Structure 1
Amino acid sequence: MKLYYDALSGHSHRVQLFLSLLGKPVEIVNVSLAAGEHKKSEFLKLNRFGQLPVLEENGAVLADSAAILVYLAKKFGHGAWLPEDALGAARVHRWLSVASGEIAYGPSAARLITLFGAKLNADEVIKRSHDILKLIDAELDGRQWIALDQPSIADVALYSYITAAPEGNVDISGYANVNAWLKRVEALPGFVPFARNAVGLRAAA
């Protein structure tokens, strides 16, 4: 199994994290976003969208982190990370959509400004970040995990950009339920941390 990856990418990290939680060995192929390697012709043969991550497994080439999480859960998760029943699966997919939507346009986008100098409105994306963090914090009230009574790929998909939100100047200290949930994810056997960068609120930490 081979994972095309950049350590700065939360999308890459969520796949790396899940592979580690599953105990699946993987060969890491570093693709530098900063150097634009994801837009070069060789990589575009793997993913014409020019996005990370990409997973090669048993002859299949898969792109999009949410799709890869679903594939890995179906193939190796034995029903533990993505339920087979319709209601459980729908609850997990709801939060995969949040990871691809509100998280991508909130905490992830805020971090793009500080890490890559993205030309985005910082006030707008920070506000969006707090809007979704408030919702997630409320959802976690009285719950251990976001979608089910056990960890699922929904938790994996949400984790990386939420823990890294301070790098985009999004203060998460006031979200007690979110911070307790982050610690629960970090306590899972096989957990691997997302690389920390001294930018945003972490610059002085």
Structure 2
Amino acid sequence: MIQLYGHELSGNSYKAKLMLSLLGLDYEWVKVDLLAGAHKQPEFLALNPFGQVPVLVDENSILADAQAILVYLARQYGSQQWLPLEAEPMSRVIRWLSTTAGEIRQGTESARLFHLFKATSINLEWANQKSEFILTQLNNHLAEREWLELGHPTIADVAVFPYIALANDGKISLQAYPNVGAWIERVKHLPGFIVMIGIEEPAAF
């Protein structure tokens, strides 16, 4: 049985849960109480010395980092739809995993941490600027396509989705980005889609 260690308010934990659900995989959810510091205890650090969620355990494989978990699940249990093996299409998908860990983390994810978790060490002005930048880029990129790459859902969409859909938690409005809003609704209508706190059920088409 696959085990997924995470927290219900973690967007990175959610993207791993979402991928498991999209693939129709059974798993055991193991809550890591971040507010109580469980991620810094020896038992959890034995799984991930970085002290971060999510962590996925699949028999003898222990995987940390949400993007790495998406790659693993796509290759181990999914089809090439989710992560192709050919060099160019694979690189197009991987680019968005890097964007997730870069511009999106610096932007909407950081703004959410500031407002929702009172992470006052974050430079909010910088986070807002980065949010505007990446949302503008996404909105332009989605102007003539339904999915981020390859004309169908991939792990690029799963990776980018959570912290864009959770932008409101960081007091970032998506009103000026209609293509992003339409893409969010398309993701929500994928078979196997699940919600989290801050991400509601899809609107009816």
Q: TM (normalized to structure 1)?
A: 0.94
Identity percentage of aligned residues: 46
C-alpha contact 1:2 1:29 (8 A) present in aligned 2: yes
Q: Output the CA distance in 2 between the equivalents of 1:135 and 1:32.
A: 35
1:1-205 counterparts in 2 under 5 A?
Answer: 1-118=2-119, 119-196=121-198
Name the Cα RMSD after superposition. Answer: 1.0
CA–CA distance in structure 2, aligned partners of residues 194 and 93 of structure 1: 25
- Whole-angstrom CA distance in 1 between matches of 2:173 and 2:37: 30
Q: Deviations over 1:29-73 (max 9, x none)?
A: 000222211111110000000000000002110001111100000
Structure 2 Cα separation of the partners of residues 120 and 96 of structure 1: 22
- Report the residue type matching 1:53 in the other structure: P
CA displacement at 1:148 relative to structure 2: 1.6
* TM-score (normalizing by structure 2): 0.94
What are the Cα deviations for residues 69-109 of structure 1, in whole angstroms up to 9, with x where unaligned? 00000011121100111111000000000001111111111
1:140 to partner: Cα distance: 0.5
Amino acid at match of 1:180: A
Contact 1:160 1:194 in 2 (8 A): no
User: How many residue pairs get matched?
Assistant: 197
- Give the Å deviation of 1:194: 2.4
- 1:127 is displaced (CA, Å) by 1.2
Runs of 4+ residues over 4 Å off in structure 1: none
Residue type at the aligned position of 2:10: S
Match of 1:200?
none
Q: Secondary structure at the match of 1:140?
A: helix
For residue 57 of structure 2, give the secondary structure of its aligned residue in structure 1: strand
